[in-house]
């Protein structure tokens, strides 16, 4: 579960927030005026999300076996990355 934090609060408590991310694997959503701007999470989780997105893109490309333009590949990567970051992790 992630906790929301405002940019001003993050500036004031950056050291504490980073310690929580590192030591307790806490996650934060940085919000301005109620809108999410960014997420702060342990780097290891970020790496897993990047790898999951890459694997999903490869699976789609292998499955489709069609020629895609560079623009289509970039759009596929963008959508896959967004979906990987927003969907709950599936257990297999």
The token pair that represents 18 in the structure block: 């980073």
Residue 92: what pLDDT?
39
Average pLDDT over residues 39-66: 84
Q: Half-sphere exposure of residue 92, counting CA atoms within 13 Å on the CB side?
A: 0
- Note the residue count of the chain: 92
**pLDDT greater than 70 at residue 26:** yes
Residue 88: what pLDDT?
54
Read off the pLDDT of residues 51-63 as tens digits, 9 standing for 90 and up. Answer: 888 888 778 777 7
Taking CA atoms, 74 is separated from 27, 30, 71, 79, in Å, by: 28, 26, 5, 9
Give the three-state DSSP class for 88. coil
Query: Please, what is the average pLDDT of the chain?
Result: 84
Compare 28 and 90 and report the one with higher pLDDT. 28
Spatial separation of the C-alpha atoms in residues 27 and 15, rounded to whole Å: 14
Task: Please state which CATH number belongs to domain 2-41.
Answer: 3.40.1620
Residue 63: what pLDDT?
74
């Amino acid at each position: 579960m992630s906790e929301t934090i405002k940019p001003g609060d993050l500036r004031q408590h950056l050291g504490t927030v980073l310690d929580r991310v590192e030591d307790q694997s806490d996650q934060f959503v940085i919000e301005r005026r109620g809108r999410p701007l960014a997420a702060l999470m342990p780097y290891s989780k970020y790496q897993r999300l990047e790898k999951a997105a890459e694997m999903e893109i490869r699976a789609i490309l292998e499955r489709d076996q069609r020629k895609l333009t560079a623009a289509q590949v970039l759009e596929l990567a963008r959508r896959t990355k967004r979906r990987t970051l927003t969907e709950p992790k599936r257990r297999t």
